[in-house]
Structure 1
Amino acid sequence: MDAHDRDRLAILTTHQGAIDAQLRKKNIPANDVPDLRQEVYRRALKYLSKREITDAVKGLLVRTAESVAADYWNERGIERRAAPKLAEDDVAPSNPEHEYNEREIRKHLTEILELCEPRGRAVLWARFAQNMTLDQIAKTMGVPKSTAHDLTERTLAELAEEFRRRGITRRMILPLVERTGEHGGPASPPGGTDKGEAPVSFAAPVAPSVRPPGGWSRPVLYVTSGAALGGLIVYLLMHSAAPLARLSPVIVTVAAAGQPSVQGGILGVDRPLVCPEVVAAPGPASPPPPVSPGQPEINAKNRHVARAIMAAEERGDCETANKLRRELTGAFAATFELRGACKLTP
């Protein structure tokens, strides 16, 4: 290591706290933290050999620490898997069927990934192999977070569809072919067991679903039966003997007419009239009673003028009330000469 590298290493060591915190977050044992920290520095210096160190170097160190921690646990998982129990050694030291399935899946996965978009392969590798978050992937690739998420989902959908088309079921393989190829076998997650994985089923390609002939008969039958049942219920409700609801009596107030004590048939004592629930059909209309000479003549104009006179008297506008009194005719004129707060002056 020359003087230039030592100066760069001195800058990286200023972020030792962030590196140690990330390693502890990944549950790295305390006695292994110094060695992994040195590995982080080594990878970072190799990456920055032809680049300038900027303020964003802290994020680079944190992501590198995540990758180093992932490699640490993957190696521990492979070591545990490579040392089976003694009892299993005596019974079944290996499972040729599982090994064959693993080889076939890796072969199919490699072929499928070659058909995918290059950016999709890069996103899947960063997401599942390097354990990077979507924010880190977006920052590293220089794309929005939504674009990184869309690339991940679209590429995974293509993988699942291609596996299904090839007849491989009951297994979803993530793009870890290169990593598993380096260690000579599939990587198991931290805390994995020594037991063999469930066998993988290789079935025939699934044909697209087709509606059987006459498949529309059942929905049509449901709709027809529902309409008939609804019509029957409405018919029974309309022809029910007992009424479903009974309206309460309606009170109507009418003005008494033709009474000597009533002034003009407009103002007077109101009498309530209760309408019965069942009303018989009206008989033939009787001729109107003869109009006596003393009864006021009721017409639209006189009623309108009378209301205007009463409104003017309530306001105290006697001039307008007396002016309107001169427009009354017949019994209205005689009636309004005897009442009101404003008397008509000759």
Structure 2
Amino acid sequence: MSSVPAYQLAHGTVRPRRLRRTPAVRRMVRETRLHPAELVLPLFVKEGLREPAPLTSMPGVVQHTLDSLAEAAREAAEAGVGGLMLFGIPEVRDETGSQADDPDGILNRAIARLREEVGEDTVIMADLCLDEFTSHGHCGVLDATGAVDNDATLDRYAAMAVAQAEAGVDVVGPSGMMDGQIAAIRHALDSAGHTDVIVLAYSAKYSSAFYGPFREAVDSQLSGDRRTYQQDPGNGREALRELELDLAEGADIVMIKPGMPYLDVLAEAAAVSSVPVWAYQISGEYAMIEFAAAAGAIDRKPAILESLTAFKRAGADSVLTYWAVEAANWIREDRS
């Protein structure tokens, strides 16, 4: 008697490899595809610079002047990148981050500049957090004991949201992980007549070891850590609770940050969310691939595209990545 299973006798050997045989076949049956419009480029603009300042921990990324920021924004828009996420670095910091909601502050001036330059061609987004603006580097104002005061911080976030909206932002991205921040920001925007401004909730922002290069990018003044308000890396269900709260408070989009270490959380969020779910491929993820490629350990382009595909496969509708322009150009070249 033959040892070949009956199914194979009747139908032939099962050969999944048939669908991998040629590039054309693989392209035809690919389940997950990247599109330039699903990529968002984070950009740093620093007050007082006369020329762009390269970052040693993030090869290829710079702190921009307002002029070089406008040039980078035009390049991204021409590549078809979906949006730009702005981070501002002021010359002067204080305890409450007063430059964050100053109309003449660097971030609000950058928003206004890009609204004039590329406002009709891409989506202008801004980080809504105090860490870049405070002298202590925390994401909120501190109480008498030195702890972050959640509710006092909400007042500052509300003021920031209105200032960014008046500067011309399309999307505000509150990233501080304060309880009630989405409701406070939505109320402030609506009360000021900015009902069309989108709120991107950093619903699950973990206290991660992979933020290191970002701290160089924003000249972080942080003392201590952010573990009392950012999520513990060991918790997954907590992320879904945060997501549910943000949706109830009026979030238009939700996000998981960091990216690749939390693909499981991203997939679970995507499975239950009623709004778009994004992921942020953060500075440490970027640096690992860049330095590994520079050392000859990996092939840079395939590694970048594979990492972006992983986010999409896990359920991300869009990805914030420092490779947004480069990847968008590769995607367009491949399609042509």
TM bucket (normalised to shorter chain) is under 0.3
* Bigger proportion of residues as strand: 2
* Bigger proportion of residues as helix: 1
Q: TM-score, normalised by structure 2?
A: 0.18
Q: TM-score, normalised by structure 1?
A: 0.17
**Structure with larger Rg:** 1
